[in-house]
């Protein structure tokens, strides 16, 4: 056979290639297990269908605010439902998710917000005072959205609106902004800065997809009546099961 035969008509195309991305895990979970619990948070229960809708609402709301490719959306929150939704909703808007470690001091948080060029900050009100002190150190402040978690201690409201109102303005039928290349960034995480300023690490859609699959072989994932184990995506506070 002519060696060049394999080089003709076999180029990459939409028919034979899709960029690797973990965003498809959300659609699959909602399709295969629509009524299974995706969220158990105190007395709050949400199914995968409900969670998917909220993630797409978040993506739509962010896009309607002009956020998209190359923009950083930060979140200062423990592992709450909003944190889960941000892991899908932010990249579904084409933006990059930056999970900030809430154990940092105000100077460390301010450095990350400045260095990442954060455009929008989601803040659990439990850490509102920390966020407010960090924002005071910035020359250019991002838009701030309050997260009202019913299981967290309430701090002051410092945002222009709250998370539920933000989602209410989103379209659940939004198709999402899917990556044109699997090398596009999906997340930006920072070190704790114990030996200097925090150092940023960028994760790609491809890398996060492969890391998620790796956890299935490295961690004992089991199905039981009371638990639904799903795929993890990494953020600055630890492993967030999403």
Domains of the chain are 28-241 (3.40.50.980)
Which residues on neighbouring strands pair with residue 224, listed in sequence order? 227
- What share of the chain has pLDDT > 70, as a percent? 89
The pLDDT score that the predictor gives to residue 220 is: 64
Residue 38 confidence (pLDDT) above 50: yes
The pLDDT score that the predictor gives to residue 240 is: 37
Buried b (16+ CB within 10 A) or exposed e, 90-111: bbbbbbbbbbbbbebebebbbb
Give the tens place of pLDDT for each residue, 99-133: 999 999 999 999 999 999 999 999 999 999 999 99
């Amino acid at each position: 056979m002519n060696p060049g035969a394999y080089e003709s008509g076999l180029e990459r195309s939409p028919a034979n290639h899709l960029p690797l991305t973990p965003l498809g895990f959300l659609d699959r979970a909602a399709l295969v297990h629509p009524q299974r619990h995706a969220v158990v948070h105190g007395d709050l229960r949400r199914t995968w269908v409900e969670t998917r809708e909220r993630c797409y609402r978040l993506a739509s709301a962010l896009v309607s605010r002009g956020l998209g490719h190359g923009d950083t959306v930060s979140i200062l929150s423990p592992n709450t439902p909003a944190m889960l939704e941000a892991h899908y909703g932010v990249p579904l808007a084409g933006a990059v998710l930056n999970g900030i470690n809430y154990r940092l001091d105000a100077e460390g948080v301010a450095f990350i917000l400045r260095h990442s060029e954060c455009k929008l900050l989601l803040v659990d009100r439990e850490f509102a005072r920390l966020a407010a002190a960090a924002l005071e150190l910035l020359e250019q402040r991002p838009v701030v959205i309050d997260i009202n978690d019913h299981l967290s201690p309430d701090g002051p409201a410092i945002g222009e609106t709250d998370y539920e109102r933000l989602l209410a303005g989103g379209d659940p039928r939004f198709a999402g902004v899917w990556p044109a290349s699997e090398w596009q960034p999906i997340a930006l995480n920072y070190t704790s800065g114990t030996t200097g300023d925090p150092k940023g690490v960028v994760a790609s859609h491809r890398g996060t997809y492969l890391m998620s699959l790796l956890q299935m072989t490295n961690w004992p994932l089991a199905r039981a009546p009371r638990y639904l184990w799903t795929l993890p995506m990494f953020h600055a506070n630890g492993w967030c099961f999403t």
